[in-house]
Amino acid sequence: MDMFAYRIVPVVVIQDAEDAEPLGRALVAGGLPVAEVTFRTDAAAESIAIMSEIEGLRVGAGTVVTPAQVEFAVEAGAEFIVSPGLRSDVVREAQMAGKPVIPGAVTPTEIMNALAMGLETVKFFPANVLGGPSAIKALAAPFTTVRFVPTGGVSPANLKEYLSLKCVPAVGGSWMVPPGLIAARDFTAITALCHEAVELAISC
C-alpha cells in the first residue's frame, strides 16, 4: 500500500502503548489505514511494534531525529521514517535499512541537500508558520521533481488548498486522532473522524 494512497497521513502521539491496538483498529475501521507514530513519547517504539501487527495498517515512525531512533523504529516494525528536519546521518540510516525516509526540508538549500541524498519527497514543517500553500507553490517552481508533504496546522479548513497543489501527494495531520480522544479511549469517535477526513480528501 502506498503510504500516500489516502492523501492524509495521521500523525499520532501515543502516551500509553495500551492504546496502540485499539487506535490502529480505529484507523483501519475509519478507512484511513496508515499512521505516523511520533517519537515524542516513551511509548512510541512499543506502539509501533503493536500496530505493525494489525492487518492492513501501514505504520511508520515520526519525529525521528537521531540514527538511533531510526534503528529503534525499524526494529519495532516501522515501514517508513519521517523527520522534522534534514540530517544526513538519519537519512543514511533509514536508507541502509531500506526504508522510505521523508525529512523536513523547507529552504532551497535544504531541498537541494535532500535531492543530493537521492530524495524527492520532503516534509514541509511547520507548514502553517512557514507560509502554507503559497510557500510550497513558490518552492515547487524551481524544484519541479520534488514532492512536499505539509504538516503542522493542516486542518479540514485548509486541506483543499494543500491537496490542490500537484506537488503535494498527501498531508500530515492530527485532527482525526486528537490526543484528548486517545486519552479518553474514545476510539469510536476517532473512527468517525477518520471517515470524515477520507471523504474530505476525496472531494479535494
Contact status, residue 110 vs residue 87, Cβ threshold 8 Å: no
Q: 58-88, pLDDT tens digit by residue?
A: 999 999 999 999 999 999 999 999 999 999 9
Decide if 3 is inside a domain.
Answer: no
Which residues span the domain enclosing 96? Answer: 8-203
Contact status, residue 171 vs residue 159, Cβ threshold 8 Å: yes
Q: 99-152, pLDDT tens digit by residue?
A: 999 999 999 999 999 999 999 999 999 999 999 999 999 999 999 999 999 999
Average pLDDT over residues 12-16: 98
Decide if 159 is inside a domain.
Answer: yes
Cα–chain-centroid distance for residue 72?
Answer: 17
CB atoms near residue 111 (< 10 Å): 22
Confidence (pTM): 0.96
The pairing of strands 8-12 and 34-38 is parallel
Nine-digit cell string for 69: 531512533
Decide if 53 is inside a domain.
Answer: yes
CB atoms near residue 43 (< 10 Å): 19
Decide if 18 is inside a domain.
Answer: yes
Decide if 36 is inside a domain.
Answer: yes
Decide if 2 is inside a domain.
Answer: no
Decide if 170 is inside a domain.
Answer: yes
**Secondary structure class of 158 (helix, strand, coil):** coil
Please identify every residue annotated as catalytic: 36, 123
Which CATH number belongs to the domain containing residue 139 in this structure?
A: 3.20.20.70
Distance of CA 198 to CAs 32, 41, 69, 142, 173, Å? 7, 27, 30, 31, 12
Rounded Cα–Cα distance for residues 169 and 103 (Å)? 15
Decide if 86 is inside a domain.
Answer: yes
**Secondary structure class of 20 (helix, strand, coil):** helix
Domain count, the chain: 1
